[in-house]
Chains A and B, each alone.
Chain A
Amino acid sequence: MNAIGYVAVAGQVMAVVIGAPLLTGWMRQVRARLEGRAGPGPLQPWRDVRKLLRKEPITPVGTGPAFRAAPALLVATTVVAAALVPLLSTDTPVSAHADLIVVVALIALGTLALALAGLDTGTAFGGMGASREMTVASLVEPTLLLSVFALSIPAGTTNIPAIVSSAAHAPARLASPAGLLAIAALAVAILAETGRIPVDNPSTHLELTMIHEAMVLEYAGPDLALVELGAQMRLTLLLGLLSSLFAPWGIATSASWAALAVALALLAAKVLLLGAVLAAAEVFWAKVRLFRVPELLAGSFLLALLAVTASYFLNGAA
């Protein structure tokens, strides 16, 4: 049992690390096809990472330890979160530590490290990106935690494996008003947290509209590879989290190799599907103005609050 548990954790981490560039490539490819372009193929982000890793590391003059440490910290927080979130199995050696609040906080820690790195460069773009990123991140936080709240009410705990397995045993709960509201709120929060359209445009080339890209403008070579990989891993992880929470079918609840293999295949399918939907939506959406973003986030906050109250009045009080 133990061996399978460790393999499951390693599998989750590897799936996120290796799958992240593939997911990004897949989404870009879907988008390219929908826009009538041929697209570079889903392997392109991997080639980019490989190329960047082989370049010489560059330190911009005037930056300090925060700038140097941020890429590794970003990747590390995501790796720890990937080990915790039950993407493949709810029965792992670390599942006791897999608290939803901890996962949310770890992801916020990665954001914070990158924002500090942006300020550390002492340039206007770095500061601008950091300021915008922190504004968005601070407004996302209430939605995230209220969604956590709503999700933890039926399960009676904030432990993600427990939430997932309780949802897998009572699938009707997922279609309840509370479940649907929570998924909508969490989806908006994840869009904001990963810097996708309509909050931020990951493929923008205009500095003034950038959020995430402005922060990391000074990175080059292997550092840039880590930053990009980190951002892609976060997207993969959060889409995986969303699919685990709201479509928990297929996640191994017992320790068997077959279940693990099925879980891996289903995880890939679910995340690729979510990625395709997101990419397709991005073709039709435009990025909203920065100062309209709070309205979007306030809306998602309201949904999360409704989810909690619905959860209380429909389940708790009954």
Chain B
Amino acid sequence: MSVIPAALASATGLGGVGALAGIGLPDRLRVPAVGVVTAGVGVTGGAAGVAALGGSRWAADYAGLVPLAGAHLAVDALAGLFMAVAGAVVTAVAVYGIGYAAGLGGHGLGSRTAQAVLPLFALSLLLVPVAASVSTFLLLWELMALGSLPLVLPEHRERSAVRQAGVWYAVMTHLGLMLLLAGFALFAARAGGETFTALRTGAPGMSPTLRAVVFVLVASAFLSKAGAVPLHAWLPRAYPEAPGPVSALMSATMVNLGIYGLVRTGLDLLDGGPAWWWLGLLAVGGCSAVYGVLQAAMASDLKRLVAYSSSENMGLVLIGVGASGLFASHGDRPLAALALAAALLHVVNHAAFKALLFCAAGSVQRSTGLRDLDRLGGLRSRMPLTAAFFALAALGAVALPPGNGFISEWLLLQSLIHGLAVHGIAVAVVLPLSVALIALSAGIAAAVFVKALGVGFFARPRDARAASAREAPAPMLAGMALLAAGLMALAVVPGLLGGGLDRAVGAVGLPGSGALTGGGLKVRLADISAQLSPLWVVAALTVAILLAVALPRLYGRRRRRVNARLWDCGGGAPTPRMAYTATSFAEPLQRVFDDVLAPEQDVDVTPVRESAYLVERVRFQHRVPDRIEHRLYEPVLRGLARAGRAARRLAGGSVHLYLGYGFAGLVVLLSALAVGW
């Protein structure tokens, strides 16, 4: 008897109980009860995932559960990996959410709707990878999308931007669903069945064109969910406007499911494809990585910055998935396995640090009401634990040792560097460029998080609200501590994940890479080798730091530290207004990437009435718009609006006219049938 069905059943049960508790309980009890039950959903669902990673599999069909099609469920190691990640994040964030929503007195995230939906959304995040047929998958996918929408909106009374974000999110996620529906419907119709097993057996018999159409449709939908450029427009709107725990859940688990879908369809169901699919994916990944991190570098809104960093990291994951498909299409399966392992490991690492980043940012917002880095500052003394958690997560995000992000990026770089063993001009051109893009995004990411940490948490407060910040309540700290513990485990002993990762890669039919073993990482392929031992790096750095602190003390005369004023050029004590802000910090980078970012600047000088030389007021406005949104989305939206206005003329208000339309439509339909089309 496998543990998986029992765990899944209890997760589902708890999800239902949580929803009922959210509706039924009074304000004071609602938040803790829902939080505990949601954490239970996370624990049980995560346990099912861990069991699957451990090697157990489970599949079941419930014919009566979904009308007509029936529900088909299956859990393998790939699904298990995403479930385990989602379970861990849901658990920690649910604990965090108790503290976040507790003080809100039944408003915002503490409201009846939000609290009733939260456990269901958490459940859907865990169940999407379990689906094993098109209809079940789409049903759960849509449940996830619908569940997240009310959770983005709780603060809509406070800010109108929330409503806008909600509309963008709802529209884009449903456009994605339509693409998914079209792609999967086509796939199922031609493969001769809608269960994943039928798709797997039917896929090789399909024509290459059809397979390509299915891949492009489905991949676009999944890429949009993963926040890849240029389908990312919803992401930097929805994440910042959603309450802290919700942004953590969405960014650390929901975007992953886009990657899950892509790997499941591209590498498993369709069983790979021609090189151009994967080259396209590499291009999208590279663009997302660099564009995402550049926008993050320009953002002065803390949560927007973290949101764009999701785009960047998903770009890196896509590079890994694309490289894996590319290597597989050239027949180098061990290398493909290595690249996929790197991508999946980065999914896990990203989930860990991104959840913690959003939790810490949410805690800052809750305490100060501010997200604007230009107004924050000095939080390290007012909120020391939150600042420490943010710093820890930032270390993971900048991909430097001893952070966890470094491990997966190292593995990704290894797979790309050794990819040159695969022959082909395209490979020889694309791989160095990918390495350069990864390096550039890693370099800029370092600047991004130095900015976020240095301007937001260090220095001195630039606003009264930041100066009077209070540390987050205990449940929030506990939730963040859980995430931090996971983060450190991933950073120091990633080998614990080794077997599971190999099984997950094996689930799509690639050989296990054996990259993660025991205390470290070893890459051993035909003629290449490399190894990285995070534990060793941590130990060596610790010893070196102790030496660097101790030796000068032995040498110098021991004196007490004295305080002194900051150097002020003789001009009096520097005020917080003189400190560098996030905008000024990013200015050199903005100049360097001027052509890509196209910043907008407005200087509006109003002279006094009597003389044009005496200035009464100068208004300076500067913003860095999302250029892709500007160039790609706005023309489409304008076109749609124009078409709508033009179509309004068709509706003249006369009933005769409408009856005439009906008649004409019927005639066209009948004549089409008569012609035999």
Tell yes or no: B420 within 8 A of A by CB: yes
Tell yes or no: B7 within 8 A of A by CB: no
- Looking at the complex, which one of A58, A73, A140 makes contact with B562 (CB distance below 8 Å)? A58
Contacts of B421 in A (CB 8 A): 316
- Looking at the complex, which one of A62, A72, A138 makes contact with B443 (CB distance below 8 Å)? A138
Question: Given known contacts A124-B578, A127-B585, A294-B592, is B530 in contact with A105 (CB within 8 Å)?
Answer: no
Tell yes or no: B435 within 8 A of A by CB: yes
Instruction: Output the nearest chain A residue to B446 by Cβ-Cβ distance.
Output: A112
Question: Given known contacts A79-B544, A116-B458, A131-B588, is B557 in contact with A124 (CB within 8 Å)?
Answer: no
Segment at the interface with B among A35-43, A152-160, A251-259, A265-273: A152-160
Whether B450 and A115, one on each chain, are in contact in the complex, defined by CB atoms closer than 8 angstroms, is: yes
Question: Given known contacts A54-B556, A99-B531, is B438 in contact with A145 (CB within 8 Å)?
Answer: yes
Question: Given known contacts A116-B453, A130-B585, is B447 in contact with A309 (CB within 8 Å)?
Answer: no
Whether A138 and B460, one on each chain, are in contact in the complex, defined by CB atoms closer than 8 angstroms, is: no
Segment at the interface with B among A19-27, A218-226, A237-245, A279-287: A218-226
Instruction: Output the nearest chain B residue to A120 by Cβ-Cβ distance.
Output: B458
Instruction: Output the nearest chain A residue to B589 by Cβ-Cβ distance.
Output: A135
Instruction: Output the nearest chain B residue to A308 by Cβ-Cβ distance.
Output: B432
Residue among A102, A108, A122, A157 with the highest chain B CB neighbour number at 10 A:
A122
Question: Given known contacts A124-B580, A130-B580, is B450 in contact with A53 (CB within 8 Å)?
Answer: no
Whether A83 and B540, one on each chain, are in contact in the complex, defined by CB atoms closer than 8 angstroms, is: yes
Whether A131 and B580, one on each chain, are in contact in the complex, defined by CB atoms closer than 8 angstroms, is: yes
Question: Given known contacts A58-B564, A61-B563, A64-B380, is B532 in contact with A75 (CB within 8 Å)?
Answer: no
Q: How far is the CA of A146 from the CA of B406 in the complex (A)?
A: 17
Q: How far is the CA of A86 from the CA of B102 in the complex (A)?
A: 56
Tell yes or no: B9 within 8 A of A by CB: no
Whether B552 and A226, one on each chain, are in contact in the complex, defined by CB atoms closer than 8 angstroms, is: yes
Residue among A111, A118, A135, A157 with the highest chain B CB neighbour number at 10 A:
A135
Report B169 CB to chain A, min CB distance, Å: 31
Whether B428 and A54, one on each chain, are in contact in the complex, defined by CB atoms closer than 8 angstroms, is: no
Whether A152 and B417, one on each chain, are in contact in the complex, defined by CB atoms closer than 8 angstroms, is: yes
Q: Mark A95-115, 1 if CB is under 8 A from B, else 0.
A: 011010110011011011001
Tell yes or no: A204 within 8 A of B by CB: no
Whether A137 and B446, one on each chain, are in contact in the complex, defined by CB atoms closer than 8 angstroms, is: yes
Report B525 CB to chain A, min CB distance, Å: 9
Tell yes or no: B537 within 8 A of A by CB: yes
Whether B417 and A222, one on each chain, are in contact in the complex, defined by CB atoms closer than 8 angstroms, is: no
Report A123 CB to chain B, min CB distance, Å: 5
Whether A109 and B443, one on each chain, are in contact in the complex, defined by CB atoms closer than 8 angstroms, is: no
Contacts of A222 in B (CB 8 A): 552-553, 556
Whether B566 and A80, one on each chain, are in contact in the complex, defined by CB atoms closer than 8 angstroms, is: no
Tell yes or no: B55 within 8 A of A by CB: no
Report B317 CB to chain A, min CB distance, Å: 18
Tell yes or no: A66 within 8 A of B by CB: yes
Report A189 CB to chain B, min CB distance, Å: 11
Whether A65 and B453, one on each chain, are in contact in the complex, defined by CB atoms closer than 8 angstroms, is: no
Whether B541 and A131, one on each chain, are in contact in the complex, defined by CB atoms closer than 8 angstroms, is: no
Whether A64 and B458, one on each chain, are in contact in the complex, defined by CB atoms closer than 8 angstroms, is: yes
Q: How far is the CA of A146 from the CA of B586 in the complex (A)?
A: 25
Contacts of B418 in A (CB 8 A): 156
Whether B541 and A145, one on each chain, are in contact in the complex, defined by CB atoms closer than 8 angstroms, is: no
Whether B580 and A53, one on each chain, are in contact in the complex, defined by CB atoms closer than 8 angstroms, is: no
- Looking at the complex, which one of B406, B423, B545, B580 makes contact with A105 (CB distance below 8 Å)? B406
The size bracket of the interface on A is 35 or more
Whether B560 and A56, one on each chain, are in contact in the complex, defined by CB atoms closer than 8 angstroms, is: yes
Contacts of A313 in B (CB 8 A): 428
Question: Given known contacts A54-B557, A62-B460, A156-B527, is B548 in contact with A134 (CB within 8 Å)?
Answer: no
Instruction: Give residues 455-469 of B contacting A (CB, 8 Å).
Output: 455, 458-460
Q: Mark A114-150, 1 if CB is under 8 A from B, else 0.
A: 0110111111111110111011011111101110110
Question: Given known contacts A75-B548, A80-B544, A141-B439, is B417 in contact with A158 (CB within 8 Å)?
Answer: yes
Residue among B429, B531, B536, B586 with the highest chain A CB neighbour number at 10 A:
B531
SS class of chain B's interface: helix, strand, loop or mixed? helix
Q: How far is the CA of A97 from the CA of B435 in the complex (A)?
A: 21
Instruction: Output the nearest chain A residue to B559 by Cβ-Cβ distance.
Output: A56
Whether A65 and B548, one on each chain, are in contact in the complex, defined by CB atoms closer than 8 angstroms, is: no
Contacts of A317 in B (CB 8 A): 423, 428
Whether A135 and B447, one on each chain, are in contact in the complex, defined by CB atoms closer than 8 angstroms, is: yes
Instruction: Give residues 72-100 of A contacting B (CB, 8 Å).
Output: 72-73, 75-77, 79-80, 83, 94, 96-97, 99
Whether A76 and B545, one on each chain, are in contact in the complex, defined by CB atoms closer than 8 angstroms, is: yes
Residue among B454, B567, B578 with the highest chain A CB neighbour number at 10 A:
B454
Report B291 CB to chain A, min CB distance, Å: 15
Whether B564 and A138, one on each chain, are in contact in the complex, defined by CB atoms closer than 8 angstroms, is: no
Whether A121 and B559, one on each chain, are in contact in the complex, defined by CB atoms closer than 8 angstroms, is: no
Tell yes or no: A177 within 8 A of B by CB: no
Q: Mark B570-588, 1 if CB is under 8 A from A, else 0.
A: 0000101011110011111
Q: How far is the CA of A192 from the CA of B563 in the complex (A)?
A: 34
Q: How far is the CA of A293 from the CA of B176 in the complex (A)?
A: 43
Whether A53 and B556, one on each chain, are in contact in the complex, defined by CB atoms closer than 8 angstroms, is: yes
Tell yes or no: B529 within 8 A of A by CB: yes
Tell yes or no: B401 within 8 A of A by CB: yes
Tell yes or no: B555 within 8 A of A by CB: yes
Whether A60 and B552, one on each chain, are in contact in the complex, defined by CB atoms closer than 8 angstroms, is: no
Tell yes or no: B28 within 8 A of A by CB: no
Whether A119 and B440, one on each chain, are in contact in the complex, defined by CB atoms closer than 8 angstroms, is: no
Tell yes or no: A301 within 8 A of B by CB: yes
**18 pairs across A/B with beta carbons < 8 Å?**
A60-B565, A60-B566, A61-B566, A72-B548, A76-B544, A99-B410, A102-B537, A105-B400, A121-B566, A124-B574, A130-B450, A134-B447, A134-B450, A138-B443, A139-B440, A158-B417, A226-B548, A312-B428
Given pairs A61-B566, A118-B454, A119-B455, 11 additional interface contacts (CB within 8 A): A56-B562, A112-B450, A115-B454, A116-B450, A130-B585, A131-B585, A137-B446, A138-B447, A162-B529, A312-B420, A317-B428
By a beta-carbon cutoff of 8 Å, the part of chain B in contact with chain A is 377-378, 380-381, 398-401, 406, 410, 413-414, 417-418, 420-421, 423, 428-429, 432-433, 435-440, 442-444, 446-447, 450-451, 453-455, 458-460, 527-533, 536-537, 540-541, 544-545, 547-549, 552-553, 555-557, 559-567, 574, 576, 578-581, 584-589, 591-592
